[in-house]
Amino acid sequence: MSLTYEDRRMTILNHLEMEGKVQVHHLSEMLNVSTETVRRDLDRLEKEGKLRKVYGGAVKMRMELVEPPFLKRTQMMKSEKTAIGKLAASLVQDGETIMLDNGTTTIEILPYLKDRLSVTLITHSVPILNLAMETFRGRIIFAGGEVNVEYQAATGSLTDQMLDQFKVNKAFISVGGISLVDGITDFHLAEAIISRKMMQRAEESILVADHSKFGMSTFAKVSKLEEISMLITDPGCSKEWIDKIEALGIEVLISDK
């Protein structure tokens, strides 16, 4: 019995969600239909705005080709990021040293650490530094260097060299995209390099990401998925994604909302 277009559509979109791209010949074999049928299906899905055709197949549509400004991003998925931040903060033990990279999810961890006098915070993020100076009562170390006004963070060789001086308990890493093929990615190469260095200097690397980041690939690679210790996300993350992540040996924690 041949599959209907709706059945094929669902299969194609599910595959695209997990892999970030699909190939005509692979879909033809998987769906047991001709390559011409697959190409017609991809044409229809492109017109629906679900994908973008490329040579030999299709890729997932990117809702944002460039990263929105920091202030705008703080309002996107706000409740999910707040819940993720609260859960992440609960993992920090008294006496620990942590690193927070420059993200609108990592900044949501800080309000839940404000009275933790024995915690040391290291960051290269100017918004996190500013909030920490207002509310955080533990020790603050700014990994300085040249401050990039667009990113609102210190980046470059000086920041990288300073981070080399530390060994910390936990690094909390934000993300531009999460893909089974491309791993963890960011919009900016300079920030990806700093996030990667933080992971290298930490005993545990904890990825904090709301469900909208899954199946996305952005410009610069941070690391392979297997290089993180734990993922904290929200209930909007699909069971299929959770199963895939856990199959890599990564612990997954789901926030309350």
CA-to-CA distance for 2 and 166, rounded, in angstroms? 59
Q: Tell me, yes or no, whether 149 and 44 share the same domain.
A: no
Residue 153: name the closest of 163, 167, 139, 165 by CA. Answer: 163
Q: For residue 116, is it within any domain?
A: yes
Note if the pTM is more than 0.75: yes
Cα maximum dimension of the chain: 66
**CATH number for the domain harbouring residue 14:** 1.10.10.10
Q: For residue 65, is it within any domain?
A: no
Length of the chain: 257
Rounded to the nearest integer, the mean pLDDT of the chain is 90
Q: Residue 70's pLDDT is what?
A: 58
Domain end point (choices 60, 83, 100): 60
Residue 140: strand, helix, or coil: strand
Task: Please give the backbone phi and psi of residue 80, each rounded to the nearest 5 degrees, phi first.
Answer: -65, -45
What digits encode the pLDDT tens for the residues 2-35? 688 888 888 888 888 777 788 999 999 888 899 9
Q: Tell me, yes or no, whether 195 and 85 share the same domain.
A: yes
Residue 84: name the closest of 230, 248, 244 by CA. Answer: 230
Residues of the chain with confidence (pLDDT) below 70: 1-2, 62-76
Q: Tell me, yes or no, whether 21 and 78 share the same domain.
A: no
Cβ-based neighbours of 61, under 8 Å, separated by 6 or more = 49, 50, 51, 52
Total of domains in the chain = 2
| E strand or H helix at 220 | strand 220-223
Buried b (16+ CB within 10 A) or exposed e, 43-54: eebeeeebbeee
Task: Give the domain extent around 153.
Answer: 70-254
Give strand pairing partners of 146: 155
Q: Tell me, yes or no, whether 110 and 161 share the same domain.
A: yes
Q: Residue 51's pLDDT is what?
A: 82
